[in-house]
Amino acid sequence: MTQIIAPPKEAAKETKAQRIERLKREKNPWEVFDEVRAFAREGRSSVVPEWANAYFKWWGIYTQGDGIGAVGGKGGEGLATEYFMMRIGLPNGLLTSHQLRTIADITERHARNVADITTRQNIQLHWLTIEDIPEIVDELTKIGLSPKGACGDVVRNVTGCPLAGIDHEEIADASSLAVELAHALVANPEFYNLPRKFKISATGCPVWCSYPEINDVAFTAIKNNSGEVGYTVRVGGGLSNEPHLAVKLDAFVRPNQAVDVARAITAIFRDQEVLRESRDRARIKYLFMKENWTAESFLAEVERRLGYKFEPGAPEKLPEDVLRDHVGIHKQKQPGLSYVGASVLRGRLTGDQLAAAADLAERFGNGQLRTTIMQNLIFVNIDTARAGELAKELQHIGLHVDGTPFWRGAIACTGTEFCKLAISETKGFTRWLVDELQESLPQFDQQLKLHVTGCPNSCGQHWIADIGLEGKKIKHEGKMVDAYYFCVGGAVGAHAAIARPVGYRAPATEVPAALTRLLGAYLNERTPGEN
- Contact set for ligand SF4, span 239-298 (CB under 6 A): none
CB of 52 to ligand SF4, least distance (A): 17
**Going by C-beta distance under 8 Å and a sequence separation of 6 or more, which residues neighbour residue 302?**
249, 251, 261, 264, 265, 268
Question: Does the footprint of ligand SF4 cover residue 60 (CB under 6 A)?
Answer: no
CB of 483 to ligand SF4, least distance (A): 14
In whole angstroms, how far apart are CA 187 and each of 60, 210, 275, 421? 11, 21, 21, 25
Strand 450-453: give its sheet, edge to edge. 410-412, 450-453, 467-476, 479-488, 500-507
| DSSP letter, residue 195 | S
With beta carbons less than 8 A apart as the criterion, state whether 186 and 155 touch: yes
Which residue, 51 or 418, is less far from ligand SF4 as judged by CB? 418
Which residue, 353 or 414, is less far from ligand SF4 as judged by CB? 414
CB of 317 to ligand SF4, least distance (A): 32
CB of 151 to ligand SF4, least distance (A): 11
**Secondary structure class of 257 (helix, strand, coil):** helix
Which residue, 204 or 460, is less far from ligand SF4 as judged by CB? 460
Which residue, 119 or 175, is less far from ligand SF4 as judged by CB? 119
Strand 377-383: give its sheet, edge to edge. 94-96, 368-371, 377-383, 337-342, 328-331
Which residue, 342 or 419, is less far from ligand SF4 as judged by CB? 419
Which one among 275, 377, 455, 487 touches ligand SF4, defined by CB under 6 A?
Answer: 455
In one letter, which amino acid is 148?
K
Binding marks (x or -) toward ligand SF4, 456..475, rule CB under 6 A? -xxxx---------------
CB of 205 to ligand SF4, least distance (A): 26
Question: Does the footprint of ligand SF4 cover residue 422 (CB under 6 A)?
Answer: yes
Which one among 154, 258, 421, 465 touches ligand SF4, defined by CB under 6 A?
Answer: 421
Binding marks (x or -) toward ligand SF4, 14..53, rule CB under 6 A? ----------------------------------------
Q: Using the rule CB under 6 A, give the single segment among 247-255, 331-339, 356-364, 412-420 that binds ligand SF4.
A: 412-420
Which one among 414, 441, 486, 499 touches ligand SF4, defined by CB under 6 A?
Answer: 414
Question: Does the footprint of ligand SF4 cover residue 453 (CB under 6 A)?
Answer: yes
Q: Using the rule CB under 6 A, give the single segment among 132-140, 414-422, 443-451, 495-503 that binds ligand SF4.
A: 414-422
- Burial profile 139-164: b = 16 or more Cβ within 10 angstroms, e = fewer: bbeeeebbbbbbbbbbbbbbbbbbbb
Question: Does the footprint of ligand SF4 cover residue 378 (CB under 6 A)?
Answer: no
CB of 397 to ligand SF4, least distance (A): 26
| CA pair distance 121, 209, nearest whole angstrom | 11
Which residue, 438 or 457, is less far from ligand SF4 as judged by CB? 457
Question: Does the footprint of ligand SF4 cover residue 224 (CB under 6 A)?
Answer: no
With beta carbons less than 8 A apart as the criterion, state whether 408 and 440 touch: no
Which one among 76, 367, 454, 507 touches ligand SF4, defined by CB under 6 A?
Answer: 454
Quick one: CA dihedral 483, 456, 161, 106, positive or negative? negative
Q: Which bin fits 121, alpha (ψ -120 to 50), beta or left (φ > 0)?
A: left
Q: Using the rule CB under 6 A, give the single segment among 154-162, 176-184, 203-211, 419-427 that binds ligand SF4.
A: 419-427
**Going by C-beta distance under 8 Å and a sequence separation of 6 or more, which residues neighbour residue 265?**
216, 217, 233, 235, 284, 302
- Contact set for ligand SF4, span 113-152 (CB under 6 A): none
User: Of how many residues is the chain composed?
Assistant: 531
**Going by C-beta distance under 8 Å and a sequence separation of 6 or more, which residues neighbour residue 518?**
467
| CA pair distance 95, 367, nearest whole angstrom | 9
CB of 240 to ligand SF4, least distance (A): 9
Report CA dihedral (43, 46, 48, 52) to the nearest 10 degrees: 10
| DSSP letter, residue 498 | P
Which residue, 399 or 459, is less far from ligand SF4 as judged by CB? 459
Q: Which bin fits 152, alpha (ψ -120 to 50), beta or left (φ > 0)?
A: left
CB of 422 to ligand SF4, least distance (A): 3
Which residue, 76 or 149, is less far from ligand SF4 as judged by CB? 76
CB of 456 to ligand SF4, least distance (A): 7
**Secondary structure class of 68 (helix, strand, coil):** coil
CB of 118 to ligand SF4, least distance (A): 9
Question: Does the footprint of ligand SF4 cover residue 413 (CB under 6 A)?
Answer: yes
In whole angstroms, how far apart are CA 100 and each of 93, 113, 143? 12, 14, 10
- Burial profile 296-308: b = 16 or more Cβ within 10 angstroms, e = fewer: eebbebbbeeeee
Which residue, 186 or 413, is less far from ligand SF4 as judged by CB? 413
CB of 326 to ligand SF4, least distance (A): 23
Q: Using the rule CB under 6 A, give the single segment among 57-65, 306-314, 338-346, 451-459 that binds ligand SF4.
A: 451-459
In one letter, which amino acid is 270?
R
Which residue, 184 or 422, is less far from ligand SF4 as judged by CB? 422
Question: Does the footprint of ligand SF4 cover residue 415 (CB under 6 A)?
Answer: yes
**Going by C-beta distance under 8 Å and a sequence separation of 6 or more, which residues neighbour residue 42?**
none
| CA pair distance 133, 86, nearest whole angstrom | 9
Q: Using the rule CB under 6 A, give the single segment among 61-69, 248-256, 450-458, 479-487 that binds ligand SF4.
A: 450-458
Contact residues for ligand SF4, defined by CB under 6 A = 413-415, 419, 421-422, 453-455, 457-460
